[in-house]
Amino acid sequence: MVLTVSPEALHRIRVHAADAYPEECCGLLLGGERDGGKEVLDVLSMGNARRESRTRRFLIAPEDYARGELHAAAQGLGIMGFYHSHPDHPARPSQFDLDHAWPWCSYVIASVENRVPTAVKSWVLKDDRSGFDEEIIERRETVPGARLRTGP
């Protein structure tokens, strides 16, 4: 699968990941679906609700998720997935990511090394929860249009 992400959204994920270093950052991917593929037009940064272990864990609280969904809907967008950073760690999902993953959503992970953002990759949970499949990130300007759906 391919995840289309606007250059501005990708830039904001990288900046958030660098700013949060050495802690993990997190946020929502906002956009829609077109011809069965997800398109990310915007991101909404979220505070890391974890009190402890913030250098290796993140949490988006349910009330923050609900606010994010309203924010997206107000722009005519939907939640396509989530992003977070892996400080000094590869941009691939951990067992903890797998244990807590929601289906269908894209999980964009940004690796940060010494405050410098490096690889950004996207992953989708397999239907049987056995692991993730990697999505190709296509960096492209996206334009909201009539064919853009806001959910699965």
CB 86 to another protein: min, Å: 4
Minimum CB distance to another protein smaller for 10 or for 26: 26
Minimum CB distance to another protein smaller for 2 or for 49: 49
Report DSSP state, residue 101: P
Minimum CB distance to another protein smaller for 94 or for 118: 94
Kindly calculate the radius of gyration of the chain based on its CA atoms and give it in whole angstroms: 14
CB 147 to another protein: min, Å: 15
CB 8 to another protein: min, Å: 22
State the chain's maximal CA–CA distance in angstroms: 43
Which residues here bind another protein, judged by CB under 8 A?
24, 26, 53, 56-63, 65-66, 69, 78-79, 82, 84, 86-87, 89, 93-94, 96-97, 100-105, 107, 127-129, 151-152
Q: Distance (Å, rounded) from C-alpha 107 to C-alpha 92?
A: 10
Q: Distance (Å, rounded) from C-alpha 39 to C-alpha 9?
A: 11
User: 103-130 in b/e burial notation, b at 16+ Cβ within 10 A?
Assistant: eebbbbbbbbeeeebeebbbbbbeeeee
CB 105 to another protein: min, Å: 5
Minimum CB distance to another protein smaller for 114 or for 139: 114
